[in-house]
Amino acid sequence: MLVNIIHPYIYKLKGNELIIGPIQEFTERDQKVSDFVKTALDNEIQIFNYDRVDLDRPLGAIMHATALIADPLYSFIKDKRINIVMATGYGLILPEEKPDEISDENWNYLCEIYSNWPDLRSKIQNSSPALFIGGALEACLANAAINFSRQFDDNRQQIFYVPELCVSVDSDFLEKEALPKLEERGINPLSYEEALSLIQTSTCN
């Protein structure tokens, strides 16, 4: 099994403001995220951190990392056992083949910055079950989970998201658009307790 953390910097947002360090009102959620990820690491579960990289905001990734590591609950983000995935602002990575509308020069440039599916597939030891946390649930996380389901499309694949460990910024869009699309792809919610039990008992490292 594996855990995918989509754009973890979103845990450090309060409205549109990026907060450096702990956010008191989110302490309960952040403690759960911390306990969950550390338990996964202790159980040798593969973890992939989808970092956000914006070509027009090169310092953004540095600010995101600063906000996280200034909070002791997110100290796990520095753990070398966590695999880094360089993703777009939409939670996506590069496809296997170059789109026709992108020149060879631009494609080669993008390949130097962003992760791609052939490389990611080669690192994944066991794709099922796959758990998604982070955010935004209705946007980047949904995109990443749906894209993941297309890459590992078989009847045995199990993909879940954990709402208690996710961030949502648009509840209306979440209910009307994102959740039906996730359900259509067979991507289902798990409670925190169910997800924690799954990683504690998993033998699919």
Summarised one tens digit per residue, pLDDT across range 15-30 is 999 999 999 999 999 9
pLDDT band at 192 (very low <50, low <70, confident <90, very high): very high
What's the rounded Cα separation, in Å, for the pair 168 and 140?
10
pLDDT band, residue 205 (cuts 50/70/90): very low
Euclidean distance between CA atoms 133 and 49, whole angstroms: 10
Q: How far apart, in whole angstroms, are the C-alpha atoms of residue 187 and residue 162?
A: 11
| pLDDT tens column, 134-180 | 999 999 999 999 999 999 887 678 999 999 999 999 999 999 999 99
Contact partners, residue 141, CB within 8 Å, separation at least 6: 6, 7, 91, 132, 133, 134, 135, 161, 166
d(CA 190, CA 61): 29
pLDDT score for 180: 97
pLDDT digits 0-9 by tens, 71-119: 999 999 999 999 999 999 999 999 999 999 999 999 999 999 999 999 9
Whether pTM > 0.85 for this model: the answer is: yes
Cβ-in-10-Å burial (0-12, 13-18, 19+) of 61 comes to middle
Distance of CA 163 to the CA centre of its chain: 13
